[in-house]
Amino acid sequence: MAYENILREDEGGIARVTVDRPDKLNALNDAVIGELQHCFEALRDDDSVRAVILTGAGEKAFVAGADIGELAKQTPLQARPLAQKGQHLMDTIEGLPKPVIAAVNGFALGGGCELAMACHLRFASDNALLGLPEVTLGIIPGYGGTQRLPRLVGKGRAMELILSAKPIDAAEAHRIGLVNKVFPQAELIPATEKALRKMLGHGPVAMRFALDAVNHGSEMPLADGLDYEATFFGLLAATDDVKEGMTAFLEKRPAHFQGH
């Protein structure tokens, strides 16, 4: 599929996906959501890709929000399916069995913040602004923001961010746990790539199981989550990778994982 609104670049097992509408501050519209959905489904099934960076074109915005001109035309019968389409994209990104880091290089507001929250980690440039301003438009976050934000920062802080509609800078987002690390703008992508390169040296099966255990286990009662974790722990014991990892540790050498 040829993309008109996003770019995909692959190098050394890492795919960089860029929302490419800088004239619109990379705002999400129906076409962008559709292209991202197709792209992330392809990334999920592409064994040559082991990790993903998601970012926005330019230096002003990651994704500044939804396309308000498009939203303003929605009828009640259209709005619910639109929200579900956005939620499906976020679920696809969150459920990817390989690490996804959002490189938040500027505004990440509304749908942009929701897109970043769907990623497994969030690295931000020091000029980034994050927030959910939807109530100022008479709507609420519709792409998972009311659900993911409390899980990341706690119910009280999520309520404050959603109800106040005020964006926060990268330093505050880091303080409350919304982003994992903050870098100067010029260092954001290199630092994100460096972090993923380090992850690529870890056991790929273990990484996939760890992502699954956290994503699904966190939605379960503790006892069920622990049982889910123990199942993966047991399955890993049968892999060649675990034998290689343990042997390499005992022999004081780097491990050479094969992914099985």
Q: Does 114 participate in catalysis according to the annotation?
A: yes
The yes-or-no verdict on residue 97 having pLDDT over 80 is yes
pLDDT at 77: 82
| Residue 255 located in a structural domain | no
One domain, residues 39 and 153 = yes
The answer to whether 260 and 241 are in contact (CB under 8 A) is yes
pLDDT tens digits for 126-179?
Answer: 999 999 999 999 999 999 999 999 999 999 999 999 999 999 999 999 999 999
Residues 169 and 190 in one domain: yes
CATH of the domain at 212: 1.10.12.10
Question: Given pLDDT bands bounded at 50, 70 and 90, which one contains residue 75?
Answer: confident
Among 134, 219, 229, 244, the one annotated catalytic:
134
- Domain of residue 218 covers 204-250
Q: Say whether both 109 and 49 belong to one domain.
A: yes
Residues 160 and 209 in one domain: no
DSSP assignment of 47-65 equals: TT--EEEEEESTTTEEE--
The residue-averaged pLDDT of 98-123 equals 97
Instruction: Tally the domains of the chain.
Output: 2
Contact predicate 63/37, CB 8 Å: no
pLDDT in tens, 173-222: 999 999 999 999 999 999 999 999 999 999 999 999 999 999 999 889 99
Would the pLDDT of 1 be above 80? Answer: no
Residues 151 and 84 in one domain: yes
Q: Is residue 53 part of a domain?
A: yes
What pTM was computed for the model? 0.93
78 and 188 within one domain: yes
The residue annotated as part of the active site, out of 9, 94, 114, 160, is 114
User: First CA to last CA across the chain, in angstroms?
Assistant: 31
